[in-house]
Structure 1
């Protein structure tokens, strides 16, 4: 005897209730807060202000500066850093000896598993004025500077590359191992150079892996907070204040929960736009 349609969905009811309470509920409440003037302190009642928080954001020079810095941080970290370095390491490790692969893989993966806040303090001691980088430059008789003051965005971007390249390396290693060796060997016999094999064989065959890696790393990079907060706290001034740091500053340091939540929704929109572009690129060509 066939069960009725409501009974077939009954086993999913507990999971559905949990998702509604602990996932959908907070999301809906955050959306509501973004349209209010809610503050952490010094407020007797909360009022609905409509789109005022969003209009304030687009008129706020600090918010626009945070958007630009977030895009620069994402471009340097994800597009140029994680992907190029991860693909290069994956390609080199395929040709390296087993001891070299073991040591390199262990070093890169150790950087990946380090907690974000710990990585931030480690890289702070590396880029700080009296840190490791300047000590090496001084030993080589090269000019030194306070990297966290003169080039804060570049410093936090390189720190994020150091920490997150392992994921790209592992993903590309798996993708490269799936390329049939007969294809590359045939191209090599036909006289194709290494650059030609890379451009016409390797990259087209791992196109979907590249798109997936770009999307996942971009979404992760857009949400980086602890690393930047530990290294610069968005400074000096606001020269490394990305959107997550700006959102935290407005919501918790200045107690403007409504405005900070509106910024969080705009950050969510930025991530959605990146995802839409990458998903478009991931479609099969007709």
Structure 2
């Protein structure tokens, strides 16, 4: 009598798995079409001479690692990698993560109405379209912009910010726009810390700095790692802000990898070379994520 029961359970198990597979099939299909498929095509095209114009446009062929060899011999590529590292480090790690945590920490015990007002002001920049933010900062930093008007009040001569300090300009603009995300993430994590833990430490004689260093920060370490990864990956892909403000210039002074990739793929029409650059960008993002997890010793 035991054997039929086991077969029945096994059949029910197969039936449940089949139903689950049928329900998930639309999701897998969408992932295949819009995620896995494009990734595979990118990988394939990076080893070809794919182009939109010229003789190569009608003669697609496999070129092996030729695109990558050309890339690492290109001085502009090396400059773009360095610009990307600078932009991501100061804009994402130092800027958005630090100021996001600082704002969230300062608003932790403030009046709820005050927190809402400050939060709405900061979030307004985040929800504004990136191209609009870019034009706002171009107007702010222009020759006759607000920045020069403000320093003019102190007798300082106008500065061509986008020409003299292009990287500083795009870094500040991206910090201004993206800090809200980190603020919301850290605000949620800080609100989940039990008040009793901090109060007990203060009663034992710990200073506010010691409580922050040895209790608050370790308790949100996982959130810090997650936020750093998300903000870094998001900043690695920033294109519209930089391209609208400076076009990657003057020269190549703000040409990050997304800007360099765009110019090679859609200005020079070398799609094979452009997709090879995108793979390097993918590797940089994966490497940064692994570095955060190893350094902060958390599993995300």
Q: CA deviation at 1:283?
A: 4.5
Match of 1:7 among 18, 24, 32: 18
Cα distance in 2, alignment partners of residues 191 and 11 from structure 1: 57
Q: CA deviation at 1:280?
A: 3.0
Question: 2:50 is matched with which residue?
Answer: 38
Q: CA deviation at 1:26?
A: 1.9
Counterpart of 1:94 in 2: which secondary structure? Answer: coil
Cα distance in 2, alignment partners of residues 206 and 121 from structure 1: 36
Matched, 1:246 2:257: no
* TM-score normalized by the length of structure 1: 0.94
Contact 1:211 1:281 in 2 (8 A): no
Cα distance in 2, alignment partners of residues 12 and 166 from structure 1: 34
Question: 2:161 is matched with which residue?
Answer: 147
Question: 1:71 is matched with which residue?
Answer: 85
Instruction: Determine which structure has more spread, i.e. the larger CA radius of gyration.
Output: 2
Match of 1:16 among 17, 28, 36: 28
* TM-score normalized by the length of structure 2: 0.90
1:63-105 per-residue CA deviation (whole Å, 9 max, x = no partner) reads 0000000000000011110111011101111233344322211
Counterpart of 2:89 in 1: which secondary structure? Answer: helix
Cα distance in 2, alignment partners of residues 215 and 160 from structure 1: 16
Cα distance in 1, alignment partners of residues 27 and 288 from structure 2: 30
Matched, 1:200 2:217: no
Cα distance in 1, alignment partners of residues 234 and 158 from structure 2: 32
Matched, 1:122 2:122: no
Deviates more, 1:151-160 or 1:273-282: 273-282
Question: Pairwise CA RMSD of aligned residues?
Answer: 1.8
Q: CA deviation at 1:23?
A: 2.4
Cα distance in 1, alignment partners of residues 41 and 72 from structure 2: 23
Do the aligned partners of residues 100 and 15 (structure 1) sit closer, same or farther apart at CA in structure 2, a change above 3 Å counting? closer
